[in-house]
Structure 1
Amino acid sequence: MKHLKKIGFYSAFILPVLLVVGFYLGGWNMLIIHAFVFILVPLMDYLIKTDKSNVPEGEISAVSKEKFYSMVTFVWVYVQLGILVWGFSVISSKTLSFAEWLAFSTGMALVTGGIGITVAHELGHKSEKLEQFYAKVLLMTVCYMHFFIEHNRGHHVRVATPDDPATSRFGETFYSFWWRSVKDGFFSAIHLEEERLQKKGVSFWSVQNQMIQFILAPILFIGFFTMVFSQIQNRFTWEVPVFFFVQSFFAFSLLELVNYIEHYGMSRKQLSNGRYEKVTPLHSWNASHMVSNFLLFQLQRHSDHHAFAYKRYQILNHYDESPQLPQGYSAMIILALFPALWFQVMDKRLEEWKRKTWVDR
């Protein structure tokens, strides 16, 4: 079982394969990747039991240090860069109908956003410079590099409080949340970086300002590849930057859907001194559905991640006392797009969990 679980984390690489195969088969086959993520994965999550097993305490140190697990994430970085450049080639050399173009763009976003941002999230929490660099590269490919600042120094500090843009409120639709989280998260990252520079006595307009670097990097990246493919096609390939920014939009919107799901209605108690209680596994929604956790490097064990952000994905724990999602993220994303259905399913579950849990707090 242990070796099966290790191999399971390579299932993420199914997505770029499906994108490529679907494109070359053409027609409705371009939606194979969408069908896999939003139909087959939820079905498998439903049919296959949840995995609530945790790494035994005596094995945690050894498992945490196994190079196999980090190698999977490192390989992903190069696969994503390769598949994105292949996408530039396709979009600049093939004539696609609008429906085909949209299918291809959203399919790419499932790769760069669905898996890529998940890997960037995992690597961005680590102290090793190489892992942080890889996280930034992945976030550059979806124009969301400020996430590196806001998520680590903002979201993890303010989660489950009114001060956190990435914590969805009770009764808030995803569409209202998206605008608030995207806008306020970006400005929060600017403020956090400004504070960091002030402490060092460095000007905001210094080259040391990561936000300036993070805004320019995607522009320079796509500018370079637009120039390359313009030279190859012997014309200005305007399709390349349009495709890049559109797939980025869908990719980071997918991230915001996940943010919405992970923290819906969660709140920490404010103490008498004005501060909030410590973050615990009670402050994020958890899902231990086996198939989607393989695809997402156990991101769905989000309760443990927020309680212990330093832990690597392979040793994240399941907690029965955490609020539990009825299904994995693939199914919950679809539900979140339909507010009436979302509220019908989640509000009752949230209130029931609070009644059972908060009595003991």
Structure 2
Amino acid sequence: MKTMLRKIGFFTAFIIPALTVWGFYLGNLWNFLPIVFSFLLLPFIDQLLGTDTSNVPETNAKVVGEEFYYRFVTYVWTYFQVAFLVWGAYAVTSGKIDTAVEGIGFVISFSLVTGGIGITVAHELGHKKSALERFYGKLLLITVCYGHFYIEHNRGHHVAVATPADPATARKDEPFYHFWVRSVFKGYAHAWNLEKESLHRKQHSTWSVKNEMLWFAVLPVVFCGVLTFAFSYRAGHFVWQVPAFFFAQSFFAFTLLELVNYVEHYGIVRREIAPGKYERVNPLHSWNASHLISNFFLFQLQRHSDHHAYAHKRYQVLNHYDESPQLPFGYPTMIILALFPPVWFSLMNKRLAAWREDHATTFTRSSGVAS
């Protein structure tokens, strides 16, 4: 029974797009309904129901990890998100959004779907060996103009996480807004460098059709262009609302991703065991949050410590570690707090200091996890 409830739980992610559609048809300030749900009601439920620190038994982890059901949920989301974007283009050209306030509410609510959940699914799929899953992951990222994340995250962030070389690891006392600039722009530049190095090793030109960074730059424009043409043709005139909507939702979607990056790694630094060489990543090197409900919505992304230690593990078998640094709240609450640097520093710096003190004890001796 518990297993069945957990399986159903991962479909709760579809609540947010349902609220986005509902809010749109109700009109006016109802367009903010998904935002209120995600950042007011969901955190309340999260705290009310608390954390779930149970893990799939090791003897059963391989079987559960290979169950097609869990992949099916992510496949469904991929097709759904593409269709949802088509609906979004219809919504902004329907004439039902009358004011700028309504438009802002609709676009931010929409980005909770494409960024908060869509990029989470893309992240899950992008780590897998299956060519189909990786394709789906790239497709989702293209719908939010953030395809380079596939390269930078897998080949950059997971290698350099919790070191000064990683633009996606927030420094202690660094406000989110400063972090956003570095992570977005340096992350993009680093993805280009990684792709160029890979191409040159294979004796391909930087401007080869094999350069994924070129495709990641072109395909979002093509996707937006097709949507714009289709709805302009339908309307009989150019509909500027479609490209404005597409790029606006993309901006908020990847900003939400960067908020999550900020929360996941704030202040964590691996020990330098030799000049330029750092200890191996282990479950001590990411902030963890095993809150039951928000983990359903985010496909257990909040068990981020285990993900970084074992990047290819599927979301349904990620483990909770008591030894990992623990966030006081789930991601929805922490994201809001991160927008207010003084509040964030007041809350997190003392926890970071405690982590640094605990980190002086070798994690391997107490848990058997490789470091």
Length-normalised TM-score, structure 2:
0.96
In 1, distance between residues paired with 2:108 and 2:4? 33
Deviation (angstroms), 1:286: 0.3
Aligned residues: 361
Q: Gaps spanning 5+ residues in structure 1: where?
A: none
- The separation in 2 between residues aligned to 1:360 and 1:196, in whole angstroms, is 35
Q: What does residue 142 of structure 2 align with? A: 140
Is structure 2 residue 195 aligned with structure 1 residue 193? yes
- Residue 204 of structure 1 aligns with an amino acid whose one-letter code is T
1:155 maps to 157
2:368 maps to none
How far 1:30 sits from its partner (Å)? 1.3
- Partner of 1:227, secondary structure, is helix
- Deviation for aligned residue 1:273: 5.2
Give 1:251's aligned amino acid. A
1:158 aligned partner, one-letter code:
A
- Alignment match, 1:332: 334
| Contact 2:29–2:105 (CA under 8 A) maintained in structure 1 | no
Which structure 2 residues correspond to residues 312-351 of structure 1 after superposition, within 5 A? 312-351=314-353
Runs (4 or more) in structure 1 with deviation over 3 Å come to none
Give 1:92's aligned residue.
93
- 1:282-314 deviations in whole A, cap 9, x for unaligned? 000000000000000000000000000010000
- Contact conserved, 1:93 with 1:233, CA < 8 A, in 2? no
SS in 1 for 2:274: coil
Please give the per-residue CA displacement for 1:22-54, whole angstroms capped at 9, x wherever unaligned.
110112211111111001110011110200000
Deviation of 1:96 after TM superposition, in Å, equals 2.4
Q: RMSD across aligned C-alpha pairs, in angstroms?
A: 0.9
1:18 paired residue number: 19
Percent same amino acid among aligned pairs?
Answer: 57
In the TM superposition, residue 170 of structure 1 has moved relative to its aligned partner by 0.5
SS at match of 1:311: coil
Distance in 1 (alpha carbons) for counterparts of 2:50 and 2:257: 26
| 1:306 alignment counterpart | 308
Matched residue type, 1:222: C
Residue in structure 2 matching 1:114, options 116, 127, 147: 116
Distance 1:30 1:87 in 2: 13
AA matched with 1:48: L
Question: In 2, distance between residues paired with 1:153 and 1:360?
Answer: 27
In structure 2, what is the equivalent of residue 61 of structure 1? Answer: 62
Output the CA distance in 2 between the equivalents of 1:111 and 1:359: 40
- The aligned residue for residue 38 of structure 2 is 37
Structure 2 unaligned spans of 5+: 364-371
Aligned partner of 2:53 in structure 1 is 52
Q: Check if 1:178 corresponds to 2:180.
A: yes
**Residue matched to 1:357:** 359
TM-score for the superposition, normalised by structure 1: 0.99
CA distance in 2, matches of 1:297, 1:40: 19
Aligned-pair CA distance for 1:6: 0.9
C-alpha distance in 1 between matches for 2:263 and 2:334: 7
- Cα offset for 1:360? 4.2
Partner of 1:281: helix, strand, or coil?
coil
